[in-house]
Amino acid sequence: METVFEMSSSIGMVLRVYEDRIVLTQKGVMGALTRGFSGEKTIYIRDITSVQFKEAAWTAGFIEFTFPGSNDRPGGSIFGVPNENRFTFSNRSMSVQKELTAQAQKIKEFIDRKIGENKSQSRSQIISVADELAKFKKLLDDGVLTEAEFAKKKQELLGL
């Protein structure tokens, strides 16, 4: 799958955004010092519940991803990178800092849009299953289906 966005940080991190996932990678000596030898972390967009964004100005900016089971408490490293689900970016040049912030903002907006699309699809699927169950319940009530046939169809629809 093709990369939609890619962003590198001065502390040895790379953020790659695809249509369905993000991949955080630590690179080089700075990456090892700030994040350890954790390698690559993949987070599927369908699992992300929120995205926190901080603009880079006089301090570093970041994009942080929260999902069920994630650890969003500050973690330890000698440079204080808060957690493994955070991509930190900064640059000493204010013009570059503004470019990085603009790129990070576009990434956040893309992921927020994807999260919204996923929630809409989930709601549609739930409504669709409920409609199908209602139809089969009516067929059961009308005597067209047996109790066993209805139970089997209900299990199929609910994925049990």
Shared domain for 97 and 130, answered yes or no, is no
Shared domain for 42 and 64, answered yes or no, is yes
DSSP annotation string for 89-157: E--SSHHHHHHHHHHHHHHHHHHHHHHHHHHHHHHHHHHHHHHHHHHHHHHHHTTSS-HHHHHHHHHHH
Nearest to 112 by CA among 52, 42, 60: 52
Shared domain for 12 and 60, answered yes or no, is yes
Domain hosting 130: range is 121-158
Shared domain for 96 and 130, answered yes or no, is no
- pTM metric for this prediction: 0.62
For the segment 40-99, what is each residue's pLDDT rounded down to a tens digit? 889 999 899 889 999 888 888 899 998 887 766 554 444 444 578 888 888 777 788 888
